[in-house]
Amino acid sequence: MHIKSVQFIKSSTSFGQCPSPDRAEFAFIGRSNVGKSSLINMVTARKSLAKISSTPGKTQLINHFLINDKWYLVDLPGYGWAKTSKENKAKWKIMIRDYLTKRENLALTFILVDIRLDPQRIDTEFINWLGINKIPFVIVFTKVDKISKNKVQSAVGKYKKALMKTWDALPHIIIISAKTKTGKEEILNFIDQTLKVAPF
């Protein structure tokens, strides 16, 4: 897939404010500071489509971008240790939960995981929650350029072992680096294949 056009549509403070569900949507979400904005910019080949910040929790709204006049890329708020109030965290949780469980045109969710870290409970619980709610998703390991190839395989192995405690078959896994563009084509191809069978 080649991305020819990217158009910002709107930012929503709740599920009910999202655009009309007339196109397939692909959502990106992950723990705060996982490198989501860098990944979105890499995938779309736009330097500042998603705002990059050293402060976790920069994304606080549901952001819709129309890609190739055909499908939506959705940038969701991160979860985890963002420096914000408990009230805001509670609002984000409801916002994310409602979007993921009620958005009828959501074709696929990419959940981003920092490959440098051992399996984090907050990530595995979220992955299990997606499975319980039958929400289609792919696990994307980020920041692969920051560790050696041997450590990459070891880290993925640890996550597979942790997930096999609750999963019969493992979800699809993509390994990426926003810096080297590793995994970009795999993500775009996965989106392209999903679009071919999406009923939207």
Sign of the CA dihedral 196, 31, 48, 72?
positive
- Residue 56: predicted pLDDT: 44
**How far apart are the C-alpha atoms of 66 and 109, rounded to whole Å?**
16
6-197: CATH topology is Rossmann fold (3.40.50)
Bigger pLDDT: 79 vs 53 = 79
- Residue 79: predicted pLDDT: 77
Bigger pLDDT: 153 vs 83 = 153
Sequence spans of domains, the chain: 6-197
**DSSP helix/strand/coil, 46:** coil
Q: What is the mean pLDDT of residues 181-187?
A: 95
Report yes or no: 199 and 112 within 8 Å, Cβ to Cβ.
Answer: no
pLDDT greater than 70 at residue 3:
yes
- Residue 33: predicted pLDDT: 82
- Residue 57: predicted pLDDT: 44
Place 88 in a pLDDT band, splitting at 50, 70 and 90: low
User: Residue with structure tokens 């985890």?
Assistant: 80
pLDDT greater than 50 at residue 53:
no
pLDDT greater than 70 at residue 86:
no
Report yes or no: 142 and 116 within 8 Å, Cβ to Cβ.
Answer: no
Angular region, 151: left φ>0, alpha ψ -120 to 50, beta rest: alpha
- Residue 89: predicted pLDDT: 62
How many C-alpha atoms does 12 have within 13 Å on its Cβ side?
A: 20
Q: What is the mean pLDDT of the chain?
A: 89
